Amino acid sequence: MARIIVVTSGKGGVGKTTTSAAIAMGLAKKGHKTAVIDFDVGLRNLDLILGCERRVVYDFINVINGEASLNQALIRDKNCNLLYILPASQTRDKDALTHEGVGKVLDELSKDFQYIVCDSPAGIEKGANLALYFADDAFVVTNPEISSVRDSDRMLGILSSKSRRAERNEEPIKEYLLLTRYDADRVKLGEMLSLEDVQEILSLELLGIIPESKSVLSASNAGIPVILDEKSEAGQAYADIVARYLGETLPHRFIDGKQGFLRRLFGGRK
């Protein structure tokens, strides 16, 4: 049986797709057969981030409608042969997703894969609800700003009440916090919420902090998940997250930011 992970946030633009691509790649690199599904029907992006947009033939909706088999629609990643992508349909909308259809696809994938990563669309409508409904674990992607934190809080409410596990009275979905686009310098200046501020509101287990990094944008544009850029801080942060999720104990990094050259020289202000 596969473990189903939903990557969700409520708010858009916080880094759900970047995170989905990175952790799916990370899990596969660690030797686990992983599928990543784009639930953002009509606004397909995951294929771009993973650099497989030119190999899309069939999509998630085709499989749901029985127009293609799962094997026809799954795209094997170029960089890692244990990672498969199920792209969203660009010509349809979220109404094309059905409860039974999604359930059937996930059941079928579960037989063959160890991890299934569901990249949720923004919002709290059908696409997002179906992406989280079958989940075992939830990665709540949050930016250190107040509107993102509130939307994450709302999402946590939905996770605890509208999932299959909640409906069946099973053990609740395990929820993890991923704080993305974190800029330690701006936190110090009081321009950004700190980790403590976010934790005070959400009180969730922190899986990792991904620092704001230029490498994320360049990796996205190149169609290579940022986790493969081992030199970048964001890449290392995602690698830490995957390791922690798989049970390793690693100290949290990137909370205090890097020491600038001048600050190191003169001892800094604090």
Partner 1 sequence: MLNTSPILEFKSSTFFSPILILYTNDMVAIEQMLHEKINLAPDFFKDSPLIIDLRELNKLNLDLDFAQIAQLLKRTGFFPVGIRGGNEQQNKQARALSLPIDTVRELGNPIIIGEAQKQESIQQPPAQPEVVIVKESVQPTAIPPVPAASVLVTQPIRSGQRIYSSGDLIILSQVSAGAEIMAEGNIHVYNTLRGRALAGVHGNTAARIFCFDLQAELVSIAGDYKTSEDLNKQTYNNPVQVYLQNHALIIKEIA
List residues binding partner 1 (CB under 8 A): 150, 153-154, 156-158, 160-162, 166, 200-201, 203
Q: How far is the CB of 10 from partner 1 (least distance, A)?
A: 9
Among residues 119 and 175, whose Cβ is nearest to partner 1? 175
The reply, when asked if residue 14 is annotated as ligand binding, is yes
CA–CA gap between residue 261 and residue 72 (Å, rounded): 52
Contact 50, 132 (CB under 8 A): no
For the CA atoms of 194, 196, 197, 201, the dihedral, rounded to the nearest 10 degrees, stands at 140
The reply, when asked if residue 157 is annotated as ligand binding, is no
Within 10 A of 260 (CB to CB), how many other CB atoms are there? 11
Q: How far is the CB of 201 from partner 1 (least distance, A)?
A: 7
The reply, when asked if residue 16 is annotated as ligand binding, is yes
Residue 56: its H or E element: none
Q: How far is the CB of 124 from partner 1 (least distance, A)?
A: 8
Q: How far is the CB of 263 from partner 1 (least distance, A)?
A: 33
Q: How far is the CB of 162 from partner 1 (least distance, A)?
A: 6
The reply, when asked if residue 19 is annotated as ligand binding, is no
Contact 116, 137 (CB under 8 A): no
Among residues 114 and 199, whose Cβ is nearest to partner 1? 199
Among residues 203 and 249, whose Cβ is nearest to partner 1? 203
Among residues 137 and 153, whose Cβ is nearest to partner 1? 153
Mind giving me the DSSP string for 106-157?
A: HHHHHHH-SEEEEEPPSSSSHHHHHHHHT-SEEEEEE-SSHHHHHHHHHHHH
The reply, when asked if residue 91 is annotated as ligand binding, is no
CA–CA gap between residue 215 and residue 3 (Å, rounded): 29
The reply, when asked if residue 15 is annotated as ligand binding, is yes
- The token pair at 132 is 């989280």
- Cross-strand pairs, 206: 177
Alpha-carbon distances, residue 186 vs 22, 54, 194 (angstroms): 25, 39, 9
Within 10 A of 223 (CB to CB), how many other CB atoms are there? 16
The reply, when asked if residue 12 is annotated as ligand binding, is yes
Q: How far is the CB of 153 from partner 1 (least distance, A)?
A: 4
The reply, when asked if residue 17 is annotated as ligand binding, is yes
Within 10 A of 215 (CB to CB), how many other CB atoms are there? 15
Q: How far is the CB of 176 from partner 1 (least distance, A)?
A: 15
Q: Which residues are annotated as a binding site?
A: 11-18
Q: Which residues are annotated as a binding site for ATP?
A: 11-18
